[in-house]
Amino acid sequence: MSNNLAEELGLLGPIDEMMHPYREQYPATRQLPATGVPRDKVLAQMEEMRAKEAARWRDGYASGSVYHGDESHIDFVNKIYALHSQTNQLHSDLWPSAAKFEAEIVAMTAHMLSAEACGEPFDSEKGVCGSVSSGGSESILLAMKAYRDYARAERGITEPEFVVPRSGHAAFHKAAQYFNIKLRPVPLDDQFRADVGAVAAEINENTIALVASAPNFPYGTIDPIDKISELALKHGVGCHVDACLGGYFLPWAERLGYPVPVFDFRLPGVTSMSCDTHKYGYAPKGTSVVLYRGRALRHHQFFTIADWPGGLYYSPTFSGSRPGGLSAACWAALMTMGESNYLKSAKAIMDAVAVMKQGIREIPELKLLGESLAVFAFGSDELNIYEVLDQMSARHWALTGLQHPAGIHVSTTLRQTQPGVAERFVKDLKESVEHVTANPGAEGGMAPIYGLAAAIPEKGIVHDLLRQVMDIYYKT
């Protein structure tokens, strides 16, 4: 797709406006100021932008994005970050506190995900161990890189492959592209979970790992991880459970009595997990944990160099220098939440989910997609669901569109547990469905873009469109 064609279809203009609403209010800066701008002026501008942008998520209109959002919690973690804003984990001789925080973040997360079920001490040769990363994507990339290198060293595999359900996170596709690993996608069953038979059929001598999600991002459903774990054991391959979204929610939902299948290190075939502390762990954005069953795998994640003129160099993750304030704030968030507050938060979220799902069930044009907990999705056999998404956007909601099948995704957070927010979601959704029923085929919004993506068989054209969207992001 050429730039001209995209513009003729009117696809890029609205995206440009959405990404750059401040052009008229603040002059664009394209080179360093000749003299420094006064600090109070910079602060005033940034406070103005923050105030404009905070309203939607603070009032509970956003799916995911901000998982806690209480002002006292934000103020607390901001103070912790400020205390450690100069900390850099690359220099643990200067900041040994960084090592303490990260080791304990990993330990607390591993314990929550049943590390003791391995029957080995934490962070021992065969016990569960891990690292802190910058987010879920990095955790997934690190794990896939570790599997690739481990398989090459221990099994002589030079053409590695891993098996991923169609609902697996996009980061697995990124890992395949970055690390030259062949990704074998498998279909889902009628409950939007990995088809175990299809997973088994894709395993071969080059398979380095099987992937499962707890839950997956699109539908919030949990794959049959017990069966996938058994396949991994049978074939002597790894099994990575992507619990980035649910890792800090499912354990508490299980303790509250909700139907959560076993998904963690209690399953002997599970050899690694990814779990985001910056989602339902309520830490600030920029932290996640990747866990391994045994140090052998983790060693293949690490980078070391022994003959560099700059000295002996090593780094556990992709970054060298890292913002120590984020790990400090993460540690502080986990410490102050504690099990009691995680349980309380999970209960409040599930209460809000019950209201939202029941509202969807009462709208005959809509249907829920699969069985899920805090994260759920819905679609329609009668309406263009993307037009419903546009109408929800017009009512200030920030939700996510799905494809294959078309749907809308919602990650319920503490923002939706505020009084009246879940009820407002149902009211606005009913009004949106009524509007689309009465006015089908409305122009504008995201509906045309999703419709175009679904209609074009040559996905290279869609890739070109997405690259143009990223180009727009960097326009001043």
Express each pLDDT in 179-233 by its tens digit. 999 999 999 999 999 999 999 999 999 999 999 999 999 999 999 999 999 999 9
Percent above pLDDT 90 for the chain: 89
Do the domain assignments include residue 461?
no
Closest to 256 in 3D by CA, of 347, 345, 339, 340: 347
Using the predicted structure, report yes or no on whether residue 8 has a pLDDT greater than 70.
no
Closest to 141 in 3D by CA, of 315, 323, 288: 288
* pLDDT single digits (tens) 133-173: 999 999 999 999 999 999 999 999 999 999 999 999 999 99
* pLDDT single digits (tens) 25-58: 998 999 999 999 999 999 999 999 999 999 999 9
Burial group, residue 298, by CB count within 10 angstroms (0-12, 13-18, 19+): buried
Do the domain assignments include residue 282?
yes
Do the domain assignments include residue 180?
yes
Mean local confidence (pLDDT), 283-299: 98
Do the domain assignments include residue 429?
no
Query: How would residue 462 be classed by pLDDT, with cut points 50, 70 and 90?
Result: confident
Lowest mean pLDDT among 265-279, 374-388, 441-455: 441-455
Q: Which amino acid is at 390?
A: D
CA distances from 358 to 48, 158, 217, 364, 392 (A): 38, 51, 21, 12, 18
Beta-bridge partners for 241:
212, 273
pTM, to two decimals: 0.95
Do the domain assignments include residue 357?
no
How far from each other are the two terminal CA atoms of the chain, in whole angstroms? 23
Measured N-to-C along each axis, helices 324-361 and 96-112 cross at an angle, to the nearest 10 degrees, of 30
Query: How would residue 459 be classed by pLDDT, with cut points 50, 70 and 90?
Result: confident
Task: Tell me which residue has tokens 């704030």.
Answer: 329
Instruction: Please give the residue range of the domain that contains residue 279.
Output: 89-333
Do the domain assignments include residue 326?
yes
Which CATH number is 202's domain given? 3.40.640.10
Do the domain assignments include residue 290?
yes
Q: Give the DSSP H or E segment for 356.
A: helix 324-361
Structure tokens of 50?
Answer: 């923050």
What is the pLDDT, as a whole number, of residue 1? 44
Do the domain assignments include residue 7?
no
Mean local confidence (pLDDT), 250-256: 98
Share the mean pLDDT of the chain.
95
Structure tokens of 463?
Answer: 């890739």
What is the pLDDT, as a whole number, of residue 302? 98
Total number of domains in the chain: 1
**Contact between residue 429 and residue 359 where contact means Cβ atoms under 8 Å apart:** yes
